[in-house]
Chains A and B, each alone.
Chain A
Amino acid sequence: MTRCSVLVGLALACVLLSPCLALADSAGKLYEKGTALLSQGEFDGAYEAFRQAAKADPENQEYRQQTALVRQVIKVRKRLGEEKDAQKWGKMANALRTFYHDNQVYGEALKIDREAHDRMGTGESAANLAETQLLAGKNAEAVELVSGLSPEIAIPRALAYLGIALARQGEIDRAKEIAGTLKIPVKAAAGLLFDCACLHALVGDKSGAAKLLTRCFEQTPPSRLDGAKLYAKQCEDLSSMVAGLEFAEALKTQSKVKESKCSGGTSCGKCPSKSSCSTDKKTSSSTKGKK
């Protein structure tokens, strides 16, 4: 009798749980479908898939956030074509570009970076375009782009990408020359340090690459450090040093950046953004451009 009860209980549990599991499973499949469509640049299809996933699993915050974000991106993409204000256009383009990179939609990122560089023609816009070209595997185009820049706008980041592109194409000597002459600012951003680390790794300077990687992680905010380390482990440009001791040591680096905990609401006193935190009524008048 007891064994029978246990078996009945188990059967009942399976019957009750299976729809939930099936739903979660289908939500997961829908989410994967959305991700795949997104990487192909199929925004409307991706949005629909994410929306269905969020409906199937309403408790899953990631599905809901991604759905809302893709919907916003679709709207911004439409608005971008109509925007006349250069500053606003730049901000929207930057937001879209970040989204495309985060979701590996490099085709769209290339389009927007090309348009941005055509509009602005700065070292920064050139570096952005070169970065996306490298991510999309268009090494030759990156070389052509950066090589054609005038010296005034050939910023270190752009030159780093040139070096990486050359190294990937087998032109190690030219890449080494760039690596040797590249002036890295003392307070360089984490992104530039990472790119320089990749360049040094590609030209065989593993020790230099490890040092740069260490500096990169020190400059990465704590909330993004795990992601940065994972990216470093998976980065093909660093693959030659992943098995090495220096790389393992670099991965142990802790962030030296003080990060605001504002989102979490704790520790306002220790918040590095406190001095710029707008709780003062005198600064409450909005300074952003209004319609």
Chain B
Amino acid sequence: MKTTRRIVQFGFLALTVVGVFVVKGNAERWCPFGGVEAIYSYATEGNMLCSLGVSNFYILAAVLLSTLLLRRVFCGYMCPIGTVSEWLQSGARRIGVRALRVPGALDRVLGLLKYPVLAFILFITYRAGELLFREFDPCYALLSRHGEDITFWAYVVSGVIVVGSLVITIPFCRWLCPLAAVLNPFSRFGLTTVKRDTKLCTDCGVCSRACPMNIPVAERDRVDEARCISCLGCLEVCRTSATDALSWGPPKTLARSWPQAALIAIMLFCISGAVATTYAFPIPSFVQTFDQTRGTQPERTATLPMEVNNLSCRGNSTLFAFFIDRDDLYEIDGYLKIEAWPGPSPAQVLITYDPAMTDEGEIKQAITESYFDSEAGFWRHSPFDIEGYDPLDDDD
């Protein structure tokens, strides 16, 4: 079981590393916590924060679903921080560094810290409309290829987690992780659980000692703790596993015990569903409408799909809309809707317009031609290139 879990952890970590450092994708788009942070802005403005996309929502939904089914399986099998943190402690143990055992009561108190951490992050994010926490986020520091917003403190936090993980088992996951604070209420009602057959159990306590989340498994008939990450480490070490003193599965079950393979299959199904949904239902991350008739579409509309360079986030998208909404020589008349998927170049954009009032050529000119910013008092050069379009060829 441990080996199988390690393989799954390695698979997700490798996928993350390859996606970020080889394919140079945007790892932020696949972070479930990004979905939590973006809920407010999406609900109030219809746009995602920074360079997040609706894939964050799909992944969040998949993680929440898997948590309802399998408790905090995301933490136990998929999270890169959890994986690295766990492996650091495992490696430290091999070279003789003993993990500090935190007493249960203290552990529970420390575990409450994640809730004010979550509240604080959400408060500053919702107020600012920006991922301010990013500057201190250890995950972002490592996976953004040292993104522009990274500060010295992100590496300090990363360093503290690394050092802490050498002497304490997954301290960040147990005490500080804001995503854990979101998942716990769902995990509390998780459909699957570890069960202990008191008739078969010899009360040796080895299962409690093996639990990375400090759950007293030996004192439970069922492990209902929200913090259970379904690692099944307790099952593996149970000395009476031959007689199935510990088992894992639904509380009222067709079979008394489910194999670990079922856990992994359900988890992968949820995540695959999220990935498939992202590509099957690519909802734009940025939407803006310019309309003289205040919300009424014209009878006939046309669409112009484009691939645009230098449109990586909401800030760029706002500037893109600024250029389209210009009021000079290249102003565009009539109904106009921008749907954009900001990201690594080229980004996808779809413009819906009234063909009776404007055309594709005018739209492209509006996006790429310099615009005099009368408020600022200088000419703004457009940072946007449209794939397959050269404004210098457009001589009329």
Q: Determine the chain B residues whose CB is within 8 A of the CB of A67 once the complex forms.
A: 392
Decide if B243 is an interface residue (CB 8 Å cutoff).
no
A76 contacts B45, C-beta separation under 8 Å: no
Q: How far is the CB of A89 from chain B (nearest CB, A)?
A: 12
Asked whether B374 is an interface residue with its Cβ less than 8 Å from the other chain, the reply is yes
Taking CB atoms and an 8 Å cut-off, the chain B residues in 4-28 that contact chain A are none
In the complex, chain A residues 233-287 whose Cβ is within 8 Å of any chain B Cβ: 261-271, 274, 277-281, 284-286
Chain A residues with CB below 8 A from B130, complex form: 267-270
Residue B370 at the A interface, CB < 8 A? yes
Residues 61-98 of A at the B interface (beta carbon under 8 Å): 64-65, 67-69, 71-72, 75-76, 79, 91-92, 94-95, 98
Q: How far is the CA of A54 from the CA of B290 in the complex (A)?
A: 34
Q: Which of B131, B316, B329 has the most CB of A within 10 A?
A: B329
Asked if B329 and A268 sit within 8 Å, CB to CB, the answer is no
Closest to A65 in B: B381
Among candidates A98, A102, A279, residue contacting B47 with C-beta atoms closer than 8 Å? A279
Cβ contact within 8 Å between A98 and B321: no
Distance in angstroms between the alpha carbons of A247 and B368 in the assembled complex = 41
Chain A residues with Cβ below 8 Å from B377 are 98
Q: Report the minimum CB–CB distance from A142 to chain B (whole Å).
A: 21
Identity of the chain A residue whose Cβ is nearest the Cβ of B396 in the assembled complex: A75
Among B84-92, B94-102, B191-199, B307-315, the stretch that binds chain A is B307-315
Q: What does the 1/0 interface line of B23-56 toward A look like (CB < 8 Å)?
A: 0000000000000000000000111011000000
Q: Which of B46, B315, B380, B391 contacts A266 (CB 8 A)?
A: B315
Query: Within 8 Å CB of A261, what residues of B?
Result: 315
Q: Please, how many angstroms separate the alpha-carbon atoms of A285 and B293 in the complex?
A: 8
**Do the beta carbons of B370 and A269 come within 8 Å of each other?**
no
**B313 interface neighbour in A72, A79, A224, A265, Cβ under 8 Å:** A265
Known contacts A68-B369, A98-B378, A269-B129; is-contact A281 B46 (Cβ 8 Å): yes
Q: Decide: A280 and B292 in contact? CB cutoff 8 A.
A: no
Is B319 an interface residue when CB atoms closer than 8 A count as contact? yes
Whole-angstrom distance between the Cβ of B182 and the nearest chain A Cβ: 21
Query: How many A-B pairs fall under 8 Å by CB?
Result: 114
- Pick the residue among A64, A76, A267, A278 that contacts B329 (CB under 8 A): A76
Q: Does A290 contact B (CB under 8 A)?
A: yes
| Contact status A281-B289, CB under 8 Å | yes
Q: Does B318 contact A (CB under 8 A)?
A: yes
Q: Look across to chain A and name the residue whose beta carbon is closest to the beta carbon of B288.
A: A284
User: Does A99 belong to the interface (CB within 8 Å)?
Assistant: yes
Residues in A neighbouring B374, C-beta threshold 8 A: 91, 94-95
User: B303 to chain A: closest CB distance in Å?
Assistant: 18
Bound-state CA distance A281–B294 (Å) is: 10
Cβ of B370 and Cβ of A262 under 8 Å apart?
Answer: no
Closest B residue, CB atoms, query A90:
B374
Please, which residue of chain B has its CB at the minimum distance from the CB of A96?
B372
* Least CB distance, A260 to chain B, in whole angstroms: 9
Decide if B107 is an interface residue (CB 8 Å cutoff).
no
Complex CA distance for A71 and B50, rounded to whole angstroms: 34
With an 8 A cutoff between CB atoms, is A180 at the interface?
Answer: no
Contacts of B315 in A (CB 8 A): 261-262, 264-268, 271
By a CB distance below 8 angstroms, the chain A residues around B47 are: 279
| Beta-carbon contact of A289 and B327 below 8 Å | yes
How far apart sit A30 and B28, CA to CA, in the bound complex (Å)? 45
Interface residues of B in 286-306 (CB under 8 A from A): 288-292, 294
Q: Does A215 contact B (CB under 8 A)?
A: no
- Cβ-based interface call for B383 (8 A): yes
Q: A278-B321, A279-B318, A281-B289 are in contact. Are A75 and B149 (CB under 8 A)?
A: no
Residue of B nearest to A286 (CB): B290
Cα(A72)–Cα(B369), bound, Å: 8
B369–A268 CB distance below 8 A = no
Pick the residue among A65, A94, A271 that contacts B370 (CB under 8 A): A65
Sample of 7 A–B contacts (CB below 8 Å): A65-B381, A76-B328, A91-B327, A91-B328, A224-B378, A263-B383, A269-B128
- Besides A64-B391, A291-B333, 6 more A-B contacts (Cβ < 8 Å) are A65-B381, A92-B329, A95-B328, A262-B315, A269-B130, A269-B132
